[in-house]
Amino acid sequence: MYSKNFVNPCPDWATALLNGFSQVLLLRNPVCGLCCLLAILLTAPNLVGGALLGALAGLLTAQRRGYDRADRQAGLYCYNGVLIGILISAVLPWSAIMPPLILAAGGLSSIITHQWRKRGGKLLIAYTAPFVLLGWGALLIAEPSTAVFAEPNPLYALARGVGQIFLLDNPFAGLLIIVGMFIASPYAAMWAVIGSAIGGGVALLIDQAQVAWMGLYGFNAALAALAFSRQSEKPCVTLLAIALALLLQPLFNLMPIAGLTAPFVLACWLMHSGNHFWQLLLRRDIWRLHN
């Protein structure tokens, strides 16, 4: 039952907010979160206010509604707010209504995340699905964006593929985020870079050069790699997740608005569902052997 007052506040609000930034990368590390925040501040200062406002709205909503304190401290109710705050700041022109809109969207993302965590189980994990749903709503009312061109530089494209997770197209932003990931988990950072590289390579193979140089085929692959980059996970499983995200991306490109991180989310759901049904088949075969 939700509390009526602000009870059990997070022991450290700054840490909770920074964890929220790192949770965008499926990591919990405040130093990593700080690197992500610096990446936004130094390369897109016009977006940092929206990111912080969205994160704060998610955290305050979670606290006001009495969600689990440990989950709040881990940043699990902030990361979708970070992303929706960045997106709204990026695609909508500044007006007096923007801060309340970001606050409302960030708070709503926290509520959706909580409900998803309660009902989604282990197969349909929330990931960035709340951001995707709210982001599509924002994109529907936004003016179409103008095309941006990037120089053909493989290293820049690699970094952009990571930076685009936070909607940042500056290579330096991607480098800062990679440094943050390396501090939190060198193994995860390695896989994120591999995912970005594979995504960029696939874009070049299908004659989407500008998409490759902008890192737009890299960020979903990098996120999928991060989701399945645990030390205990077999590399073939991580590569399969990357491949699924890249296979799904063209389907979402058919939409009149950007697919955002939907290919990554759907790829993870398919991976979890496939593993679940595989385990059921194995159990059935074992049962038959013993009967």
Which of left, alpha, beta for 167 (phi over 0: left; psi -120 to 50: alpha)?
Answer: left
* Listed range (43-47, 92-96, 155-159, 232-236) with the worst mean pLDDT: 232-236
Per-residue pLDDT band for 5 (boundaries 50, 70, 90) equals very low
Architecture of domain 13-140: Orthogonal Bundle (1.10)
Q: What is the pLDDT of residue 174?
A: 97
Lowest average pLDDT, out of 20-34, 62-76, 277-291, goes to 277-291
CA within 13 Å, CB half, 269: 15
| Cα 76 to Cα 199: distance, rounded to the nearest angstrom | 27
Report the helix count and the strand count for the chain, using DSSP H and E: 14, 0
Tens digits of per-residue pLDDT, 130-185?
999 999 999 998 887 776 788 889 999 999 999 999 999 999 999 999 999 999 99
Say how far apart CA 169 and CA 227 lie, in whole Å. Answer: 22
pTM over 0.75: yes
CA distances from 179 to 88, 114, 124, 280 (A): 26, 30, 30, 40
CATH 1.10.3430.10 positions along the chain are 13-140, 154-278
Write the CB contacts of 180 (distance below 8 Å, at least 6 apart in sequence): 22, 25, 29, 31, 32, 33, 34, 35, 36, 39
Q: Which residues have a Cβ under 8 Å from the Cβ of 93 and sit 6 or more positions away?
A: 143
Burial 14-25 (b: 16+ CB within 10 A, else e): ebbbbbbbbbbb
Average the pLDDT over 259-268 and give the result: 96
Q: CB atoms < 10 A from the CB of 243, how many?
A: 15
Burial tier of 145 (Cβ tally within 10 Å: 0-12, 13-18, 19+): exposed
Query: Other C-beta atoms within 10 Å of 197: how many?
Result: 19
> Binning pLDDT at 50, 70 and 90, where does residue 286 land?
low
Share of the chain above pLDDT 70, in %: 91
Buried b / exposed e over 28-40, threshold 16 CB at 10 Å, is: bbbebbbbbbbbb
Mean pLDDT of 252-276: 92
Say yes or no to pLDDT of 91 above 70. yes
With residues binned 3-state (H G I as helix, E B as strand, rest as coil), the percentages for the chain, rounded to 5, are: 70, 0, 30
Torsion, CA 216, CA 120, CA 17, CA 57, rounded to 10: 100
Output phi, psi for 145, to 5 deg: -85, 155
Q: Spell out the CATH class of 154-278.
A: mainly alpha
| High-pLDDT (> 90) share of the chain, % | 77
